[in-house]
């Protein structure tokens, strides 16, 4: 069946992912290859001490990226996109979206980027005997309870960003198990929220304003592959105000960006892992066994199938690097040199390759926001160097790239050195790897594991959730997701792998020794300001 016929007859699947800086919609065909895409750029805002996005902007961005997708289909194939076989919604995991009985948002959306829940995270972790990161929904809820916030008694539903968008389009208050695992711990035996921990939370909150049954306000978990609702008439008009796209399309369970990254890199089996690097950076390692201890630097979430995954999540990655590149581009403009942004990035990444392996004493801290892995409550971007460091563009750029993965290295060292977790290969994707070689080579050397970029690496999580939607739409789903991906999606797909470089590894180790010591300067900068 040709592509035009697939689109016209609805034999396609659509994935929409709400990332930190971009919302992207991808249309895929029967062969899982992307047919068209649409994007919408956006940014979080910092309001009253909270990193947030308004729900008006969420709806505006959804409509903008979907309109761009429909226009791309018309331009490429001269056909109108009116329906599809299935749709999937993905978004940044975690955070806090709480609603009352009238479906009104009670407080502004508190995103994963906030580091305001340290007290709650510590208390719930101690109570559960299970690490609860600051950005998890349950940490935000308990912090609101501890703060005595007025709204907690009126909560009737709480969800993630992906769960919210799915809800307004389908009317269903549901979630995929992977995204749900960033709200509240999952019992891998039942595939549901951990009942024992639900009971512990009820005891922990006795005598507070929160008297609700937590299990009643969390979204229902829908297993991978099952239908999680259909596009309502109201949802269709929200998605496409023009009235062209039709209601009735099935949806797969909404998932988090960590899970769609695993799908997009085919790393959902034990001993596989992936690194996603954009505004934030996180590594996922699918576990063969439970960890021996609870580590505040390591989250335990799940694959879309419910298998336990160790996750090292760092709030900061490319934002500071992007700011420096923007300033360098601005400097070029002073000399009337109009250089495309993509060319500036490629040239500067290439320059980093020729820098000294240890950056010659130049240290860069990319902390725009707080960072729980290094116990920093706020962000202070910082560059420092020794008096005898050579401040060259190559050394400076290498330090900026190193800083994108330095905090991740701290968390991964726990997994690899203390827990002896073995990974055969790491798949990488995200903005840090758009320019070839540099990010891939440095990451392989930093972690001591071969790093592979698949042909599909540039498609990201929007493609990953589109694959989950296509899996849901299959009439015959006798095979599991891993087998489906191996047989129908990644069979024959090639990628480029890069092994660790001894010189780079030694240089990165030296950089990290200074980096860890320099964290005291970061802490002092927060106290002084």
Q: Can you tell me the distance from the alpha carbon of 245 to that of 472, in angstroms, rounded to the nearest whole number?
A: 20
CB atoms under 10 Å from CB of 385, counted, come to 17
Q: Considering only CA atoms, which of 260, 169, 183, 190 is closest in space to residue 219?
A: 183
CB atoms under 10 Å from CB of 27, counted, come to 25
Q: Considering only CA atoms, which of 156, 187, 67, 56 is closest in space to residue 109?
A: 56
Domains of the chain by range and CATH?
A: 265-315+411-498 (3.30.420.40), 319-403+502-528 (no CATH)
Residue 524 DSSP one-character state: H
Strand partners, 438: none
Q: Considering only CA atoms, which of 142, 450, 191, 410 is closest in space to residue 304?
A: 191
Are the beta carbons of 88 and 162 closer than 8 angstroms?
no
Residue appearing with tokens 């392996």: 357
SS3 labels along 224-280? CCCCCCECCHHHHHHHCCCCCCCCCCEECCCEEHHHHHHHHCCCCCCCEEEEEECCC
Helices (H), 9-136: 55-77, 118-128
Q: What do you get for the CA distance between the two ends of the chain, in Å?
A: 63
Are the beta carbons of 52 and 63 closer than 8 angstroms?
no
The answer to whether residue 529 scores a pLDDT higher than 80 is no
Q: Can you tell me the distance from the alpha carbon of 230 to that of 89, in angstroms, rounded to the nearest whole number?
A: 12
Residue 488 DSSP one-character state: I
Q: pTM of this prediction?
A: 0.85
* Three-class secondary structure of residue 430 per DSSP: coil
Break the chain down into helix, strand, coil percent, rounded to 5.
Answer: 40, 20, 40
The predicted pLDDT at position 396 comes to 98
Q: Can you tell me the distance from the alpha carbon of 242 to that of 238, in angstroms, rounded to the nearest whole number?
A: 9
Q: Can you tell me the distance from the alpha carbon of 204 to that of 121, in angstroms, rounded to the nearest whole number?
A: 13
Q: Can you tell me the distance from the alpha carbon of 523 to that of 521, in angstroms, rounded to the nearest whole number?
A: 5
The predicted pLDDT at position 265 comes to 87
Half-sphere CA count of 344, side-chain side, radius 13 A:
18
389-442 residue pLDDT tens: 999 999 999 999 999 999 999 999 999 999 999 888 899 988 888 887 899 999
The answer to whether residue 513 scores a pLDDT higher than 70 is yes
Structure tokens that stand for 200 in this block: 């512990």
Average pLDDT of 161-177? Answer: 98
339-370 residue pLDDT tens: 999 999 999 999 999 999 999 999 999 999 99
The predicted pLDDT at position 459 comes to 65
pLDDT category at 456 given cuts 50, 70, 90 is low
The answer to whether residue 128 scores a pLDDT higher than 70 is yes
136-149 residue pLDDT tens: 999 999 999 999 99
Average pLDDT of 100-121? Answer: 95
The predicted pLDDT at position 25 comes to 97
Q: Can you tell me the distance from the alpha carbon of 300 to that of 307, in angstroms, rounded to the nearest whole number?
A: 10
Average pLDDT of 369-379? Answer: 92
The answer to whether residue 38 scores a pLDDT higher than 90 is yes
The predicted pLDDT at position 461 comes to 87
Strand partners, 41: 22
Structural element, H or E, at residue 343: helix 341-353
Mean of all residue pLDDT scores within the chain: 94
Least reliable range by pLDDT among 46-55, 159-168, 493-502: 493-502
Are the beta carbons of 364 and 372 closer than 8 angstroms?
no
Question: Residue 392: is it exposed, middle or buried by C-beta count within 10 angstroms (0-12/13-18/19+)?
Answer: middle
Strand partners, 282: 276, 313
Helix axes 195-204, 137-146, angle to 10 degrees: 10
């Amino acid at each position: 069946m040709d592509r035009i016929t697939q689109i016209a007859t609805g034999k396609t699947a659509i994935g929409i992912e709400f990332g930190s800086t971009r919302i992207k919609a991808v249309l895929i065909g029967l062969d899982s290859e992307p047919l068209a895409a649409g994007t919408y750029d956006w940014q979080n805002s910092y309001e009253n001490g909270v990193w947030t996005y308004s729900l008006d902007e969420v709806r505006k961005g959804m409509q903008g990226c979907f309109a761009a997708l429909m226009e791309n289909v018309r331009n490429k194939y001269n056909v109108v996109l009116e329906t599809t076989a299935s749709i999937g919604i993905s978004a940044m995991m975690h955070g806090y979206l709480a609603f009352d009985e009238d479906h009104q948002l009670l407080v502004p959306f508190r995103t994963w980027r906030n580091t305001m829940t340290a007290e709650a995270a510590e208390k719930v972790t101690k109570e559960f005997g299970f690490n609860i990161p600051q950005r998890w929904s349950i940490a935000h809820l308990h912090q609101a309870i501890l703060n005595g916030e007025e709204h907690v008694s009126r909560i009737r539903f709480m969800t993630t960003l992906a769960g919210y968008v799915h809800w307004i389009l389908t009317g269903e208050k549901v979630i995929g198990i992977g995204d749900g695992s960033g709200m509240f711990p999952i019992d891998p035996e039942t595939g549901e929220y951990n009942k024992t921990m639900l009971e512990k939370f009820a005891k922990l909150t006795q005598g507070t304003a929160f008297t609700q049954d937590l299990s009643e306000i969390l979204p229902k978990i829908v297993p991978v592959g099952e239908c999680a609702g259909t596009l309502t008439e109201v949802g269709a008009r929200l998605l496409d105000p023009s009235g062209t796209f039709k209601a009735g399309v099935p949806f797969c369970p909404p998932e988090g960006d960590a899970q769609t990254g695993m799908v997009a890199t085919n790393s959902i089996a034990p001993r596989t892992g992936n690194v996603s690097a954009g505004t934030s950076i996180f590594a996922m390692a699918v576990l063969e066994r439970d960890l021996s201890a609870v580590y505040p630097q390591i989250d335990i979430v799940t694959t879309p199938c419910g298998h336990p995954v160790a996750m090292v999540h760092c709030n900061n990655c490319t934002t500071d690097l992007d700011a420096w590149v923007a300033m360098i581009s601005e400097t070029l403009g002073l000399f009337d040199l109009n250089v495309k942004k993509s060319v500036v990035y490629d040239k500067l990444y290439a320059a980093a390759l020729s820098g000294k392996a240890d950056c010659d004493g130049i240290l860069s801290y990319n902390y725009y926001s707080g960072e729980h892995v290094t116990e920093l409550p706020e962000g202070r971007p910082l560059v420092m160097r020794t008096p005898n460091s050579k401040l060259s563009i190559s050394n400076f750029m290498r330090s900026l790239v190193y800083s994108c993965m330095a905090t991740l290295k701290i968390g991964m060292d726990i997994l690899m050195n203390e827990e002896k977790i073995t990974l055969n290969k790491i798949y990488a994707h995200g903005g840090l790897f758009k320019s070839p070689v540099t990010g891939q080579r440095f990451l392989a050397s930093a972690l001591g594991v071969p790093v592979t970029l698949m042909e599909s690496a540039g498609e990201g999580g929007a493609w990953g959730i589109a694959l989950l939607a296509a899996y849901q739409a299959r009439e015959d789903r006798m095979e599991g997701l891993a087998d489906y991906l191996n047989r129908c999606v990644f069979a024959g797909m090639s990628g480029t792998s890069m092994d660790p470089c001894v010189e780079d590894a030694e240089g990165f180790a030296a950089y990290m020794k200074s980096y860890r010591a320099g964290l005291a300067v970061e802490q002092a900068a927060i106290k002084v300001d």
